[in-house]
A and B are shown apart, each in its own frame.
Chain A
């Protein structure tokens, strides 16, 4: 059974640009969650999608958005990039995120210059 796949693994952007990250969950998982990981703030919850609907959202500005497609694949977008957006963005899938049992991808490492 394939795991959670995130693309791209690494990317470099400049301030003001936008970025789209993709996540393919484990087959059969309908919930996809996104987390931001930085050395200073640690792991922070961005949002969660279930059956194409955003079910929960963390405390991030509106520049951070996401969506989920009918095949459960998910994308997140960050617009007007800032230096502080440099982070590892982790996607996690689950059958039911309410249990907290998440399966994480390896992440997309974003560097903003």
Chain B
């Protein structure tokens, strides 16, 4: 069965510092890959997605992610974080062409921003 692992439950970063959130997936083929963000009391918002092609994808709010097939990873990065980036970040996958199980999400990484 497909699975998504986000090894870091919590990450604390100083404002202005760079950020990398890790995501690994286990799947028989390369799925579609996503990062979603959830602010407190809110629903999820799509940050970026990877379907195919260029392995470095740009998203909203200055985020980017790099797909590495050899490592089955899709890590999220941001060169300089802002206090407003404090939130829960979810990596997600879906079978290429759609899946009967919908999106499979990782457990999430809680990002804390230190002033």
Contacts and interface: CB of A to CB of B under 8 A. Distances in A.
In this complex, the interface size class of chain B, counting residues with CB under 8 Å from chain A, is 20 to 34
Given A56-B100, A56-B101, A58-B102, A100 B34 contact: yes
Contacts, number: 62
B43 A106 contact: yes
Contacts of B98: 97-99
Contact of A48 (B41, B102, B108): B102
A90 B49 contact: no
Contacts of A103: 46
Contacts of A64: none
A45 B101 CA distance: 7
Nearest to A6: B43
Interface string B81-111: 0000000001011100111111111111000
A102 interface: yes
Interface of A: 4, 33, 35, 42-43, 45, 48, 56-58, 90, 92, 97-107
